[in-house]
Amino acid sequence: MQFLLNQTPITLTEFAPDMTLLEYLRTERVQTGTKEGCASGDCGACTVVIAEPLNGMLHYRSINACITYLGAVENCQVITVEGLSPNRSELHPVQQAMVEQHGSQCGFCTPGFVMSLFALMHQPKQHESTGASIAERINTALGGNLCRCTGYRPIIDAAQQILTHQTDDQFDLNASNTLKQLHAFISDLQPKVPALSDQKFFASPTSINLLLQLLAEHPDARLVAGATDLALETTQQLHFLPKLIYTGNVQELRQIEISEQQITLGAAVTYSEAEAVLIDHFPAINGLLHRLGSLQVRNQGTIGGNIANASPIGDMPPVLLALNATLTLRSVEGVRELPIDQFFVDYRQTALAPGECIESITLPKLSTDSFLRIYKLSKRLDDDISAVCFAIHLNVHNGLIQSARLGLGGMAATPARAHHAEKSLIGKPITPEGIYEAQQALALDFTPLSDVRASANYRLLSAKNLLMRAVLEYTQPRSLEVMHYAHFDG
């Protein structure tokens, strides 16, 4: 595989399939500027930036090197804190701003913050189009970086300095040369099944047929997309994963298609790539997406991985259940479509057959009488796992509920619909009184567990209250808007 490490072209003929990028940087290259804090994607100390060609330009994204497999950076430029200084005697503008604003004390978190700020500095156009304020952009960029001693204000001041006094850096000036080098790597890639050892490999197929062929030949191989779940088996459970098949270069899995009726997302599309389309068609998803992991996690993680992982507390499954999504599953045997509510079979068990992968996820568009609300309850606003995630999709006509799909996470061994509550809602007025029976019916649908995140009682009571909240948001949208802002301002 080939990639650029800062400005240095690297060619590797052999590497351990489950070696992480962080391990490679620190142990093989002895570039220890990139730190290891948690090794689980939570602290951001290991943040590096990946640059890739997109529409003739370089696209920069921050990722956590600790949960990225080395093989996934093929044909990319990996930018680390060691590569920022334009020469040995000068700091990069981002580093200079951190110094000037006193953004560092012990310094352990600093390289990670600097890299997140570097990615922020290189993303103005993308974010301008979302209408996000400077403060929102900074919060989003830094939501995945923890600092235990400086306090965030000086770091935010450094971010503001960078965004307000933005100039081209040496990466901008060298962009056309970098693009040329990366394109040369890509054109070396041949669409063939790579010659793989039978015992261990990191395979990076470029088409779905190659991927399926590999899966059929190696039924014991693991698929890997963003690795934000899978890499924890390497770094936390210390499992050796000898055969990995990476989906990130499979063109068919990277597509987003929008037709009159529906939206189809390839299984290897990341949250960040899907964000604009999802928010455009399902505005209620906005609040959830910005609270799903951190920017680094959303830049890597995929919706396909979230579904296949089948965690009972995954955030997208409740939404996809409420939206009546369909999965396209493919193997060398052929293709089949499966409604998502038939996919989760038992605790972390799915309907995927051996040799089968998720190819895409299809979401029907909302109709004019659709009302969608999505709530995530977690202990912390940013970068936290849900205690309860509740997606409520109602069709309302003349004040009466015509149809209801309720998707919940954190309430059972799998993400699940609330069939009893859905039934009780049909034909009822969308009022607090009208949904009373449905609230009670949630207790027939779920017997949640108590764990570190929440007690069983809390989960059930919150689910009932969230249903009420949705109804109040429908009937009194203005008053709740005021409450919402009052809460955050307070």
Binding region for ligand FAD (CB under 6 A): 40-42, 67, 222-230, 247, 267, 292-293, 297, 300-302, 304-306, 308-309, 314-315, 357-358, 383, 385
360 burial level (CB within 10 Å; 0-12, 13-18, 19+)? buried
63 is in the binding site of which of ligand FAD, ligand FES, none (Cβ under 5 to 8 A by kind)?
none
Cα–Cα distance, 3 to 72 (Å, whole number): 10
d(CA 293, CA 265): 20
Burial class (CB within 10 angstroms; exposed 0-12, middle 13-18, buried 19+) of 75: buried
Quick one: what does residue 135 bind among ligand FES, ligand FAD, none, with the CB cut-off 5 to 8 Å set by partner type?
none
In our burial notation (b when 16+ CB lie closer than 10 A, e otherwise), range 237-263 reads eeeebbbbbbbbbbebbbeeeeeeeeb
Upper half-sphere CA count for residue 39 (Cβ side, 13 Å) = 13
Please report whether residue 36 would count as binding ligand FES according to CB under 6 A.
yes
Stretch that binds ligand FES, among 40-48, 190-198, 314-322, 446-454 (CB under 6 A): 40-48
* 353 counts as binding ligand FES under rule CB under 6 A: no
- Backbone φ and ψ of 202, nearest 5°: -115, 105
Number of residues located near ligand FES, criterion CB under 6 A:
23
Contacts to ligand FES from residues 157-216, by CB under 6 A: none
Q: Is 358 in the site for ligand FES (CB under 6 A)?
A: no
Quick check: 31 binds ligand FES (CB under 6 A)?
no
Q: CB 17 → ligand FAD: shortest distance, Å?
A: 13
Question: Alpha helices, DSSP H only, in 50-174?
Answer: 93-100, 110-121, 124-128, 134-142, 152-164, 170-173
Give the number of other CB atoms < 10 A from CB of residue 80. Answer: 21
Nearer to ligand FAD, 298 or 417 (CB): 298
Q: Residue 29 CB, nearest distance to ligand FES (Å)? A: 17
Q: Which is nearer to ligand FES, 382 or 437 (CB)?
A: 382
Q: Which does 108 bind (CB under 5 to 8 A by kind): ligand FES, ligand FAD, none?
A: ligand FES
Q: Which is nearer to ligand FAD, 97 or 389 (CB)?
A: 389
CB under 6 A: which stretch of 33-41, 180-188, 225-233, 391-399 binds ligand FES? 33-41
C-alpha distances out from residue 85 to 90, 111, 121, Å: 6, 12, 15
CB of 304 to ligand FAD, least distance (A): 4
Binding residues among 66-125 for ligand FES as defined by CB under 6 A? 66, 104-110
Q: Does 149 bind ligand FES (CB under 6 A)?
A: yes
Q: How far is CA 350 from CA 50, 54, 445, in A?
A: 32, 34, 20
By CB under 6 A, the residues from 219 to 278 that bind ligand FES are: none
Among 18, 21, 25, 37, binds ligand FES (CB under 6 A): 37
Q: Cα 425–429–433 angle (5° rounding)?
A: 85
Beta strands in 426-473 (DSSP E): none
| Minimal distance, residue 100 CB to ligand FES, in Å | 16
Which is closer to ligand FAD, CB of 264 or CB of 300? 300
Helix (H, G, I), strand (E, B) or coil at 111: helix
Regarding 38 and contact with ligand FES (CB under 6 A), the answer is: yes
Q: Hey, CA dihedral for 272, 278, 279, 283, is it positive or negative? A: negative
Q: Give 250 or 392: the residue with its C-beta nearer to ligand FAD.
A: 250
Q: How far is CA 150 from CA 47, 82, 323, in A?
A: 18, 22, 43
* Nearest one of 391, 175, 385 to 294, comparing CA atoms: 385
Among positions 148, 153, 192, 379, the unique one binding ligand FES when judged by CB under 6 A: 148
Closer residue to ligand FES, CB minimum distance, 85 or 236: 236
CA–CA separation, 59 and 67 (whole Å): 20
Measured in whole angstroms, the distance separating CA 259 from the mean position of its chain's CA atoms is 24
Q: In the complex, which residue's CB is closest to ligand FAD?
A: 305
Q: Which residues contact ligand FES by CB under 6 A?
A: 36-39, 41-46, 64, 66, 104-110, 147-150
